[in-house]
Chain A
């Protein structure tokens, strides 16, 4: 059995009377891309915020790379990288300045931060725009910078919270290829998305969340088999069947 890099046990989080996360349990193997799917308000982002040490869980246990999030938060932060759902970059700085700054925050020295920044910019196809001000970048380029920053410090576990929202197919495809490349190099990835075909294409396993709970968790193929022939049904069909068709605004 492969080594489990992330282990989540009976995680709970409430905001006043609202139970955002209610008894979530799952684990991710080292080097696995794990998909966390769910409609708006299902609890995905709250879960990621707890896993990435930003938010304290009411109860439950999270272990990342053998470190407890509750008791060894700094050790956890040294092995994770986070690509948030919304862009989190300094528009007034250049791409390189953004990368180097977050590299320093990840504990790199100046030389290593610059080297890694250039490597990651190249990976994202932005090496020619390293010195360009981010405010002048297109939406797709900003998304790629957002992802590239998460790679600074060579994290062992990457949280990708809807990294391809609102970008063109070319940029999206570029990001897919990079994610698969990172996985091949041994990186563990927790991926959330609303694009079911993305999850189907990238994830070894997916968990479907709704109402703060995981309602189903398996490989995309197995989930599809639950409602019909895997060749004929899509993961979106599975998702809609499990979470219903009512709007979640």
Chain B
């Protein structure tokens, strides 16, 4: 056991000495995170730009545009009819709102006014959501307008000044908005299963697996350097050699994962302190399993190129089956096959903790699977090392 520890320390020392490798392995999780941030923009809510053609320009049209612009996540872009038509024509835009000339005048005279949605097809997913939001703003404005007109109509002939009626109606509508008769109470029962929290586990596990299987070159490098054979003539056993290398791999993976999870914690704010620690605890077990699989690659690879290629192919296989980029349908053949991927269990467990508000205790099955992979991986790698031609 002591010699295994020396192997680990020596590996860490070599890792720290190689400035290029050190910088690469520390920068890699940061770059991975930056890519994630770039891809998801740190946003978890709907955001869209509403292209509005205000051909009216009157009071009510301007008021409507202002109300639309005040909605969080909606950015209003005013364009001329020619510009919007041209963009719709070349499919650069799927939906635009036109406020026709005479809109305000029509409303002021007590008549009915209309918006026009011009769209390609169904306006796309974003366009449909946007249209729904615009309709709700129009509906609200419409109701306010109706109330104001009805009050004015019922008080007609009472001698109450019109500006007094307007002021009172406006005040009452404002109070209604503050304290609506029918309210909505939000009760949070767990984290939000949004895009980031759904995909973050997959990206983390993919990254860790990739880094650790590529790290499988450690035995090959030792062989190439000639030190492997020399070590095997000392009192170091093959088991201690593999365990030492395994521990070094776990340490390296742990540092990288702390960086990746820490940045996600700080920037995406997906975790509570407890769920962060639980995610980290699970990640250690997953890192150990990935390292053990990396040791199997190390035991069979005879060159650095072979180790790298096996690592890449293996990682992609595990990642795809792990449902990292697409959801695997329940009951499908793919779901059965996906059970051979440790990423399936790791992603499920991390999603349970991050997205569903579960605890480490809810990830018993993945933890057992990972522990099994560690034990079997180390035993198999040691066996392969002894029996594969050119091993020992």
Instruction: Decide whether A and B are members of one complex.
Output: yes
Taking Cβ atoms with an 8 Å cutoff, the residues of A that contact B are 49, 52-55, 74, 77-78, 80-82, 84, 86-93, 97, 101-102, 104-107, 149, 153
B195-227 interface mask toward A, CB cutoff 8 Å, 1 = contact, 0 = none?
A: 000000000000000000000000000000111
- Provide 8 A-B residue pairs closer than 8 Å at the C-beta atoms, listed in order of the A residue: A81-B233, A84-B226, A88-B226, A89-B225, A90-B225, A97-B13, A105-B235, A107-B235
Decide yes or no: A90 and B226 within 8 Å by CB, A77-B235, A104-B6, A106-B235 being known contacts.
no
Q: Is the CB of B233 within 8 A of A89?
A: no
Q: Is the CB of B227 within 8 A of A88?
A: yes
Smallest beta-carbon distance A72→chain B, Å: 12
Smallest beta-carbon distance B18→chain A, Å: 6
Q: CB-CB < 8 A to A105: which residues of B?
A: 3, 6, 231, 234-236
- Name, among A101, A105, A153, the residue most crowded by chain B CB atoms within 10 Å (CB to CB): A105
Q: Is the CB of A84 within 8 A of B230?
A: yes
Q: Is the CB of B18 within 8 A of A54?
A: no
Q: How far is the CA of A74 from the CA of B231 in the complex (A)?
A: 12
* Total number of residue pairs linking A and B with CB closer than 8 Å: 63
Closest 10 CB pairs of A and B: A88-B226, A105-B234, A88-B230, A92-B17, A82-B233, A52-B233, A104-B6, A86-B226, A88-B227, A105-B236
Residue of A nearest to B240 (CB): A105
Q: Is the CB of A54 within 8 A of B226?
A: no
What DSSP secondary structure best describes chain B's contact surface? helix
Taking Cβ atoms with an 8 Å cutoff, the residues of B that contact A are 2-3, 6, 10, 13-14, 17-18, 225-227, 229-237, 392
Q: Is the CB of B6 within 8 A of A101?
A: yes
Q: CB-CB < 8 A to A91: which residues of B?
A: 225
Q: How far is the CA of A97 from the CA of B229 in the complex (A)?
A: 19
Given contacts A84-B229, A93-B10, 12 further A-B contacts (CB under 8 A): A54-B229, A55-B392, A88-B230, A89-B225, A90-B10, A93-B13, A93-B14, A97-B13, A101-B10, A102-B230, A102-B234, A107-B235
Q: CB-CB < 8 A to B237: which residues of A?
A: 74
Decide yes or no: A74 and B226 within 8 Å by CB, A101-B10, A105-B6 being known contacts.
no
Q: How far is the CA of A101 from the CA of B3 in the complex (A)?
A: 10
Q: How far is the CA of A82 from the CA of B226 in the complex (A)?
A: 12
Q: CB-CB < 8 A to B236: which residues of A?
A: 105
Contact of A77 among B2, B6, B13, B233 (CB under 8 A): B233
Smallest beta-carbon distance B232→chain A, Å: 5
Q: CB-CB < 8 A to A82: which residues of B?
A: 230, 233
Contact of B235 among A52, A74, A84 (CB under 8 A): A74
Q: CB-CB < 8 A to B18: which residues of A?
A: 92
Residue of A nearest to B228 (CB): A88
Contact of A54 among B13, B225, B233 (CB under 8 A): B233
Smallest beta-carbon distance B27→chain A, Å: 20
Residue of B nearest to A149 (CB): B230
Q: CB-CB < 8 A to A87: which residues of B?
A: 226
Q: How far is the CA of A92 from the CA of B15 in the complex (A)?
A: 9
